[in-house]
Amino acid sequence: METYNNIVLERLPKHLKRYVVAQRYERYTALDQALWRYVMRQNYSFLKDVAHYPYIPGLKKAGLSIATIPNLQDMNDSLKLIGWGAVTVDGFIPPAAFMEFQAHRVLVIAADIRQLEHIEYTPAPDIIH
């Protein structure tokens, strides 16, 4: 399991590490990047006026950009400054495992991104969720 030079991830219990998958950033296509930008712009346009104030600055603190799909190394570089980490998983994981990751200060992110036909909503977890 890649730890991205983040002590939070290095300390994860072995039974949680089995859910972690590699992000494989190079597999995201130009269409995937465009989908990310579209959905994030839509979210930002709505949330900038209705979300609790720290939400928008929090995106940057977490290493997220509207322009590109987040890279786990960049996210972990940002998150480790506040004692958190991030990992990618393959879709759904058991709710108890999800909550345990949170207890260990680790954000769980699905590695996949929705397809064009599900641009508005996808029933499966994806990196945008």
46: in domain: yes
pTM for the complete prediction? 0.90
126: in domain: no
pLDDT of 55 > 90? The answer is no
pLDDT tens readout for residues 1-25 = 999 999 999 999 999 999 999 999 9
Look at the chain and report how many structural domains it folds into: 1
Q: 62 vs 56, 72, 73, 118, 119, CA distance in Å?
A: 10, 10, 11, 25, 23
127: in domain: no
Structural domain that includes position 107: 7-118
| Domain at 12, CATH number | 1.10.800.10
125: in domain: no
